[in-house]
Amino acid sequence: MSDETTEATGAAESGGADGGSGRRVRVVLVDDHRMFRTGVQAEIGRTEVTGVEVVGEAADVDQAVTVITATRPEVVLLDVHLPGGGGVEVLRRSASMMGDAENPVRFLALSVSDAAEDVIGVIRGGARGYVTKTITGTDLVDSIFRVQDGDAVFSPRLAGFVLDAFASTDAPPVDEDLDRLTQREREVLRLIARGYAYKEIAKQLFISVKTVESHVSAVLRKLQLSNRHELTRWATARRLV
Amino acid sequence: MPAAAVQPEAPQPLRKLYRSGEGRLLGGVARGLAGHLGLPVIWVRLVFIGLFMANGLGALLYAAFWFFVPLGVGGVGAERPHTVTTETGADGRRKLVVRKVDKGQLLAFVAMVSVAMVFVSTVDISNSARAYLWPTLLVGAGVALVWRQADNARRARWMAVGRRRRTLQLARAAAGVVLVGAGVTGIFVLQGSVQDLGSVLQAALAVFVGIALLAGPYLVRMTQDLSEERLMRIRAQERAEVAAHVHDSVLHTLTLIQRNAENVNEVRRLARAQERDLRTWLYKPEGTGKEEGEEPDTLADAVRKAAAEVEDKHGVPIEVVVVGDCPLDEKLTAQMQAAREAMVNAAKYGGEGGAVQVFAEVEGTTVFVSVRDRGPGFDLDSVPADRMGVRESIIGRMQRHGGTARLRAVPDGGTEVELEMERAEKTS
């Protein structure tokens, strides 16, 4: 973790990150590196300041499923590479809790990986977002609250992947609704990839932050549901052989 | 592979088809097939025998399987001990022990021989052709013997049977050769009465075919073995190369970090450089183990290289996102130089605000690059006229090559440089 987190980056958006809003969120950390868990805990775990309460930790798939079932957190920070099948396996086994109508468990993927199939894999597995571990503490808290609200969180890199995967091709879409990004969605993704925060995107495009969020959620849905041939091919083309 | 939202259970590993090296009568084909299909061996053998009655089709099939299916540790679990095995004696020495051939095997053998007899006697053939029949059968038996022999050499590796008896091997090979030779000679002698060139040619052909049959299995299996081994070797080499590279550079970096522990900027720079290096190795597609000094020839590589150099020099992290890619041409090289200049400015004047974000996109013939920092911002009009850095190296350069450059202050702080350029031709 970088020590830039102590600086105000300007990237943090809402005042939600200072806990002033009095919001609370219950979080489980799933990561096989103890040092990293400790680091995240130190950065975001001061509940009175951040509003984040870490209610459990796990270091592998089985543990994660057990802890998540026992504590029923609102948000799970999920590492992509885990012993026992990886983050995707945790998502698969928590599907029922994700779909719970009363209090769903939502997942935010957190990884050092840059591999496209890792990123796209966990998103298609049901995670509501993907951020890299270099994210600052403030931004991470912000992302957690965003996921708690049911919104999607895209890092610039993920936005770049999605733009790449949905790049305009001559191939006719199988499902018009799912296989294409609208012009507006494309603009929003482009700005995310350029490092803009949601609030800045809203200003830039003269729309509300809520509208930006709904565009991003729509993209997330397409990413999870599209059976677009190119998407699969694109991810395989970038596989490590 | 993007995992579907609902992942199916992991499939059972496929049972590969091997010929069984254990408890076989001839080539282990039936046993191997039985293992592959999950049927009792006797069924498979009966099917083969039945097919054999159909104009010898079974024999042809069996031979084909024998020839092309590699010997392996497949097949039905061998419930019967080998006829010849090694046992460790009380004195600790391994010795060959000949076991009794069990009844089932003997029975099957007798059945096969009798079926062959029936086949020979029932096939209604003219006298001239009948003369060929026995030599042909002899040749077949010889070839089968040699094939089994070739198998046994490989089987020895699988089963790790201790010392093989060379004499036994030689005797077998010799028997095969003699049988084939006898068959060929038989055909020869029968033809002897007819005095013309055709017979000589036929004989020569027969000899040639005989030799091919003898050497065939060795050759086929040798190439199979060789290609398998080569593949393994290539894999091992690649692994070793990555490991060597990664180990050396990571250890090197860690040493430097320990030495420079009190110099925060240097430590950060070292860590970033190592991280980049590692990522390049891990996530780049094949064939991009580019050396440091090599000139990039695609846009994505050029952007990443420029960012890496600026990052190293100024110690400010630069996040790069590239969408699409295209080969570099003269115009784009100019755009890259402008982008690099913009990165340097962002790192120098806006680096304290956190990471610099670089975005490059190729869409059709348009190449767009943006460089954004979160620094205090900067106003082009307030720059003294004698400071030509931005004007010349960014805006001027882009305009000279027919592109556009835009500098603007971002509402919430920081500066963004947008560079746009049309490529010469569309090749994607």
| Interface touch B359/A190, C-beta < 8 Å | yes
- Residues 344-383, chain B, touching A (beta carbon < 8 A): 352-355, 357, 359, 361, 363, 370, 372, 374
**Does the structure show a pLDDT above 60 at B428?**
no
Mean pLDDT taken over chain B? 71
| Interface touch A115/B282, C-beta < 8 Å | yes
| Interface touch B7/A195, C-beta < 8 Å | no
| Interface touch A193/B411, C-beta < 8 Å | no
Nearest CB to A238; choose among B285, B323, B355? B285
Nearest CB to A235; choose among B2, B352, B359? B2
- pTM of the predicted model, to two decimals? 0.59
pLDDT: which is higher, A147 or B388: A147
| Interface touch B323/A160, C-beta < 8 Å | yes
Would residue A127 be called left, alpha or beta, if left means φ above 0 and alpha means ψ between -120 and 50 degrees? beta
Do B168 and B209 contact (CB within 8 A), yes or no? no
d(CA A40, CA A78): 12
Query: What is the mean predicted confidence (pLDDT) over B385-412?
Result: 77
Query: Looking at beta carbons, which residues of chain B come within 8 Å of A95?
Result: 6
The shortest C-alpha distance from A26 to chain B (Å) reads 25
The shortest C-alpha distance from B375 to chain A (Å) reads 9
**Is the CB of B386 inside 8 Å of chain A's CB atoms?**
no
The shortest C-alpha distance from B411 to chain A (Å) reads 7
Query: Looking at beta carbons, which residues of chain A come within 8 Å of B414?
Result: 10
The shortest C-alpha distance from B317 to chain A (Å) reads 10
Closest by CA to B326, choosing from B282, B370, B366, B284, is B366
Do A173 and A179 contact (CB within 8 A), yes or no? yes
pLDDT: which is higher, B264 or A19: B264
Query: Looking at beta carbons, which residues of chain A come within 8 Å of B416?
Result: 194
**Is the CB of B186 inside 8 Å of chain A's CB atoms?**
no
Q: What was the pLDDT predicted at B24?
A: 67
pLDDT in tens, B287-301: 444 455 567 888 888
d(CA A46, CA A42): 7
| Interface touch B416/A194, C-beta < 8 Å | yes
Burial class (CB in 10 A: 0-12, 13-18, 19+), B320: buried
Coil, strand or helix: which one is B417? Answer: strand
Per-residue pLDDT of chain A (241 residues; tens, 9 = 90+): 443 333 333 333 444 444 456 788 999 999 988 888 888 888 888 888 888 999 999 998 999 999 999 999 999 999 988 888 888 899 999 888 888 778 899 999 988 877 777 788 888 888 999 988 878 888 899 899 999 988 899 888 889 888 887 775 555 556 666 677 888 999 999 999 998 888 889 988 999 999 999 999 999 888 888 766 556 555 555 543 2
Closest by CA to B339, choosing from B294, B295, B405, is B405
| Interface touch B321/A157, C-beta < 8 Å | yes
pLDDT in tens, B87-107: 444 444 444 444 444 455 556
pLDDT: which is higher, A29 or B79: A29
Alpha helices per DSSP H over chain A: 34-44, 47-50, 61-71, 86-93, 95-98, 116-124, 137-148, 156-165, 176-179, 183-193, 198-205, 209-225, 229-237
Out of A45-59, B131-145, B315-329, B356-370, which region has the weakest mean confidence (pLDDT)? B131-145
Which neighbouring-strand residues pair with A25?
A: A52
Band of the pLDDT at B188, cuts 50, 70, 90? low
The shortest C-alpha distance from B402 to chain A (Å) reads 24
Query: Looking at beta carbons, which residues of chain B come within 8 Å of A204?
Result: 411
